[in-house]
Chains A and B, each alone.
Chain A
Amino acid sequence: MTTPEASTAQSGPVPPADRLLDVEGLEIQFVTDLGWTTVVEDVSFSLSAGETLGLVGESGSGKTVTSLSLMGLIPSPPGRVSKGSIRLEGRELVGMSQRKLNAIRGEEIAMIFQEPMTSLNPAFKVGDQIAETYRRHRRVSRKEAARQAVRVLDKVGIPNAERRARSYPHEFSGGMRQRAMIAMALVCDPKVVVADEPTTALDVTIQAQVLELMGWMRDELDMALIFVTHDLGVVADICDRVVVMYAGQIVEEASIRDLYYQPQHPYSSALLAAMPQQVSRTQSTELASIPGSPPAPGTFPVGCRFHPRCEYARDKCTQGEIGDLIRLRELSNGQTSRCVRVDEIELQGAR
């Protein structure tokens, strides 16, 4: 293999014409007391129109940083994209000027954040904020922008959109605020929407509403979604393909059914086993758990980063020098895995 590892991460034969977003060999660093610490390394994936990609990981896995980098939102300092490329329909986003990025952000790629309360400005009316986003990208009158804001609020299921557009964020309930956030992301009809834990802060009944809404966005608006989450239940509900991240790397990429029914990395398998199934105490004795806790950036183990917690770890998993990278290997069905023993072990999926 002479090409960089990055190229192995493409999943399946997707015709390039369909590809909206291409991430290759992404490396992100943050400056700490000890110098530059690599937080995300060798991350490659792609996204096609109408597709929903899950970006799954625990705290410290680098999933949020990765999603921010897609928007050019890595705070610098202290962070930087040190390697790799992010291409949106062929245009390179890494190294692009802020001005050009601003033209793309919101217009072609938009983001939905976890905390709708802190992402909406409390001092302005919801409708005005959405209209403002619209006017930044389209040269239209205030009146037209306001009309668009109402249209999109109505679209995401806010009743009396015309009246609610004149409300302030604090007058909205949690679920409505999240809908308003989504409306703001949708107002310019972006091709790609990145949603960072959009349902984590919500109650389950509200989460169900938002999941329904996002499913509708994907189906009816043919939008490409990147869904960043730690919740494998949410992923099972909405995603077509999944990228599993651990300790700053992709450890597995697979189609939704492959991941759940035949995971090819011990970490994915262990995560699935650890999901508290709908089984009561009388039926099972102990919950499966992964020993230890996920490593923080700067303390990633040598060799396979999951080896200290992996029940399948052998000597070859622990070997290597600092900075060595275990290759992400493509398996026959387009699934990829970063496990060196993937051919030797039999892993359990859901059920």
Chain B
Amino acid sequence: MSQQIPEDGQAQDPTSAPGGEAPSRTVDPAPAPAGEGTQTAEALAGPSLSARKRFLRRFRKQWPAMIALVYLVLVTLAAVLAPVLATHDPLSQNLGNVLAQPGGEHLLGTDDLGRDLYSRIVFASRVSLLAAVQAVGVGVAIGVIPGLIAGYSGKKLDAIIMRITDAVMSFPPLILAIAIVGVLGPNLTNAMIAVGIIFAPRFLRLVRGTVLAVRQETFIEASLSIGTPVRRILRMHVLPNVLSPLIVQISLATALAMLAEASLSFLGLGVQPPQASWGSMVERGFRHTASAPWLTVFPGLPIAMTVLAFNVLGDGIRDSIGREVRRG
């Protein structure tokens, strides 16, 4: 324990305030005393250290999130390299070898049309991931900006945006999706745009609610008082503080989007056969649960794991962002 007999009260304060600093001391070297600050500071953290670097440093310590990230990268790679990884043509049928057990020539067996299940799963990852990303992307694109505006501006603009949102939310989601696909034409992209439109109000409400809370914080007024333009306040202060709940919502929505895609595909509104997504494969395999359970299990596994990975990743990101709970 360092023992200092301070002579000048002022100079001691920064280094001897155990209240706020103690928790971090175990991680970072003790802060440099005022005089020799420059080079020490550069060496360990440096005033130039960006928020991004700080984020990455913390994120690396979150091993479950790191595993999730690695998994998602692998899945994405698998989707990109599908033609290389697949052992068979995912579309070629062999009616003489339907519902083959896993093992042998077909690693994971064959489906009810004798197609290689492993190859189909590999190719389906392209469809599933892309579909989920499309849906969430559309939802975020439509939802976030109006949410920011509604939450920050308040009054009339807020009322208008929220009434539109209410109108969208008052439609039963499935009927809305069918209606949208009906107008745009039945294919996967259109189905996912429909899902995105259904998601948008959730994002909007979440963002608006968070912004309303953040707006009350003194640091917003503090920033206004130094003459910060509103757009910069939204970008620098409001958005980062909205980000963590938004990221969690995005990961959940990605999971939901995968399931929505499966449902719509089942209804013939999403992926069109013979193309397959994980969801549509589960639906298809479901007809043979008793005789060939692997048809459901094997495509179901990547859905479950990917959904889990998105959730774990979301948690990890949230814990690495600068916002911290106040201690004590």
Contacts and interface: CB of A to CB of B under 8 A. Distances in A.
Q: Do chains A and B touch in the complex (CB under 8 A)?
A: yes
Interface of A: 60, 289-296, 298-299, 301-303, 307-311, 313-315, 318
Contacts of B10: 289, 291
B18 A295 contact: yes
A307 B3 contact: yes
B22 A308 contact: no
B319 to A, nearest CB: 14
B6 A309 contact: yes
20 contacts: A289-B10, A291-B8, A291-B9, A292-B13, A293-B13, A293-B17, A294-B19, A295-B19, A296-B327, A299-B18, A301-B1, A301-B18, A302-B1, A307-B3, A308-B3, A309-B16, A311-B5, A311-B6, A314-B5, A318-B1
Nearest to B5: A313
Task: Report whether over half of chain B's contact residues are helix, strand or loop; otherwise say mixed.
Answer: loop
A292 B3 contact: no
A134 to B, nearest CB: 37
A318 B3 CA distance: 7
B216 interface: no
B328 interface: yes
A309 B328 CA distance: 21
B222 to A, nearest CB: 22
Report the 10 A-B pairs with minimum CB-CB distance, sorted nearest first: A291-B9, A299-B22, A299-B18, A295-B18, A291-B12, A292-B16, A318-B3, A296-B19, A291-B6, A293-B17
Nearest to A320: B1
Interface of B: 1, 3-10, 12-13, 16-20, 22, 327-328
A194 B10 CA distance: 37
A302 B1 CA distance: 7
A60 to B, nearest CB: 7
B4 A308 contact: yes
Contacts of A294: 19
Contacts of B6: 291-292, 308-309, 311
A310 B3 CA distance: 11
Nearest to B9: A291
A68 to B, nearest CB: 16
Contacts of B17: 292-293
A221 to B, nearest CB: 37
A123 B188 CA distance: 54
Given A291-B8, A293-B13, A303-B1, 6 more contacts: A291-B13, A292-B18, A296-B19, A296-B328, A307-B3, A313-B5
B1 A298 contact: no
B22 A298 contact: yes
Given A60-B328, A296-B22, A299-B22, A291 B5 contact: no
Most buried by B among A291, A302, A315: A291
A226 B18 CA distance: 30
A304 to B, nearest CB: 11
Contacts of A315: 3
A308 B1 CA distance: 10
B260 to A, nearest CB: 39
B324 to A, nearest CB: 13
Contacts of A298: 22
Contacts of B5: 310-311, 313-314
Contacts of B12: 291-292
Contacts of B16: 291-292, 308-309
Nearest to A302: B1
Contacts of A291: 6, 8-10, 12-13, 16
A311 to B, nearest CB: 7
Contact of B19 (A299, A314, A318): A299
Nearest to A289: B9
B149 to A, nearest CB: 34
A302 B3 CA distance: 10
A290 B9 CA distance: 6
A296 B19 CA distance: 5
A65 B125 CA distance: 57
B308 to A, nearest CB: 25
Nearest to A322: B1
B3 A296 contact: no
A289 B9 CA distance: 7
A291 B10 CA distance: 6
B77 to A, nearest CB: 37
Contacts of A310: 5
Contacts of B8: 291
B19 A293 contact: yes
Nearest to A34: B23
A303 B328 CA distance: 23
A21 to B, nearest CB: 28
Contacts of A309: 6, 16
A310 B5 CA distance: 7
Nearest to A296: B19
A4 B1 CA distance: 28
